[in-house]
Chain A
Amino acid sequence: MVKVLIRSLFMIAALMSAPAFAQEKFIVVASTTSTEDSGLFKYLLPLFKAKTGIDVRVVAQGTGQALATARKGDADVVFVHDKVAETKFMEEGFGVDRREVMYNDFIIVGAKTDTAKINGSKDVIESLKKIATSQSPFASRGDKSGTHAAELRYWKQAEIDPQTGKGTWYRETGSGMGPTLNTASAMGAYAFTDRGTWLNFKNRGDLGIVVEGDTKLNNQYGIMLVNPAKHAHVKKEMGLAFIDWVTSAEGQLAIAAYKIEGQQLFFPNRSRLVNAK
């Protein structure tokens, strides 16, 4: 009885709002806060829509949450940046046709006071060690996102368990990149971030880039179709059309052309191949 009531309530809501919100063809893409906060989608998606007429609805979440959304079948395509988690997602059979799209790099930002004395360093591992030994405040995502996973991998390589600094210098915000940078800016803390979000971030306050240029800091983005064999409602053709387009010469050039204040945010993978030749 209650279930019927709830169901009819949803139906009423759907009926009442459906005509007003009627939409043409669309796919849902679960992606990361870094692609949304950096402004890339706002620039890229109208180009794809002009070409194909397909509306791309982006739900921006941390990589962990985006993959969970896709596992439940609530997205057609996932576009994230955590190769380890993506590989696991593929191996479990939730995704098909993974392709590498673009990359940029991670950086460490920090306040001018630079209490760990790492400004200008190119060595991420050494810098993290100095942050830990000087007990300098460090704001971490703590949200199982792609950036958080990457940060934890570097701590591991530095043979430091940041959890020991919890309550003192290591502070998990449990939120997206933007909110974490807001926190770091307010506390004068160091933070580990992707370059794209940083370039589009306006509330920098006293923060600036302190560590960059370590070849270890590569940040790779991958795209996958949610396996239609697991979730029959996945819009396979339109999803693949989007995957094909972002990895096509046209999509890749468009990604390379996205700049903020003259700085390129993402580097398409295909151009790397072209450059290598």
Chain B
Amino acid sequence: MAEISQGFTTAATLIGTANTELLSIVWLSLKVSGIAVMIASLLALPFGAWLALVRFPGRQSLIAILNGMMGLPPVVVGLLVYLALSRAGPLGSLGLLFTPAAMVAAQTLLIFPIITALTRQVIEDAWIEYREQLISLNASRGQSMMALLWDMRFTLLTAVLAGFGRAIAEVGAVMIVGGNIDGITRVMTTAISLETSKGDLALALALGIVLIGIVVIVNAIAQIVKTTAMKHHG
């Protein structure tokens, strides 16, 4: 139990002294997961909306698969990206293994299904509500998609945040494709894993507390942005 109180003390010290090593690790975590969320959202929001509006044979199966992929084990995603990016793999010539770009790629793949599946559900519900209206306006499918995405933007923010939370919290994929290289690919979760390996449980817990704090702050900022924007747009 001593480790827990010591963990909080160490966390306070780390934050209080603005430890530069910790700052660079935090910054890399935010950068990698932030870029992954941006790429995944750019692809997943339109794809999810499209999937909500179209009807084709096999659509239900595709939705079931996507929903299932929300539970993709990070370590499996890591392994697939590793095999693709390894020098012996199909994309080996890019030389991306053990770089932050590889970590971005893995996290993007990991959270794409999450954002897609949640978007699909949100837009499908909205479609039921606005269907008559959009049809009477003679809106094309593309226009309907855009209108619904815009209308649901505050709800969709939650889908994006869910993706971000998953990305920044996972360790399995970034450990494999990033290699936890000091100063290059070491992020919060792999640093926690390393300190646990060294048996420095207090420091590991302190890093964990900092990570949770960051995720809460990011969500709080999103919440503030959302409430302010909602006030302005009714």
Contact = CB atoms under 8 A, between A and B. Distances in A.
Contact of A231 (B87, B108, B180): B87
A33 B175 CA distance: 13
Contacts of B180: 59-60
A114 interface: no
A232 B137 CA distance: 61
B12 interface: no
Contacts of B197: 33, 37, 176-179, 182
B98 A28 contact: yes
A10 B181 CA distance: 20
Interface string A45-69: 0000000000101111000000000
A33 B194 CA distance: 10
Interface in A8-64: 9-14, 16-18, 20-21, 23, 28, 33, 36-37, 41-42, 55, 57-60
B182 A18 contact: no
Residue of A6, A9, A17, A178 most packed against chain B (CB within 10 A): A17
B101 A58 contact: no
B18 interface: no
B99 interface: yes
Nearest to B96: A14
A201 B198 CA distance: 5
A18 B85 CA distance: 16
Contacts of B36: 13
B69 to A, nearest CB: 15
B35 interface: yes
Interface string A177-196: 11101100100000000000
A55 B179 CA distance: 15
Interface string B92-135: 10111111110011001000000000000000000000000000
A200 B97 contact: no
Contact of A202 (B101, B182, B198): B198
Contacts of A13: 35-36, 39, 101, 104-105, 108
A73 B87 CA distance: 6
A74 interface: yes
B64 interface: no
Nearest to B92: A73
Given A74-B86, A178-B197, A14 B94 contact: yes
Given A57-B98, A59-B181, A74-B87, A201 B104 contact: no
A20 B35 CA distance: 11
| Best-surrounded residue of A33, A178, A201 (most CB of chain B within 10 A) | A178
Contact of A72 (B86, B95, B185): B86
Contacts of A42: 182
Interface string A188-216: 00000000000011111000000000000
B151 interface: no
A201 to B, nearest CB: 4
B184 A57 contact: yes
A26 B199 CA distance: 30
A174 to B, nearest CB: 13
Interface in B80-94: 84-92, 94
A179 B196 contact: yes
Contacts of B91: 7, 10
13 contacts: A6-B84, A11-B94, A16-B39, A20-B31, A21-B99, A23-B184, A28-B181, A41-B182, A58-B181, A59-B98, A59-B180, A74-B98, A233-B87
Interface of A: 3, 6-7, 9-14, 16-18, 20-21, 23, 28, 33, 36-37, 41-42, 55, 57-60, 72-74, 176-179, 181-182, 185, 200-204, 231, 233
Interface of B: 31-32, 35-36, 39, 43, 84-92, 94-101, 104-105, 108, 179-182, 184-185, 194, 196-201
Given A10-B105, A21-B184, A37-B194, 11 more contacts: A10-B94, A10-B96, A13-B101, A37-B198, A57-B181, A57-B184, A72-B86, A176-B197, A179-B197, A231-B87, A233-B95
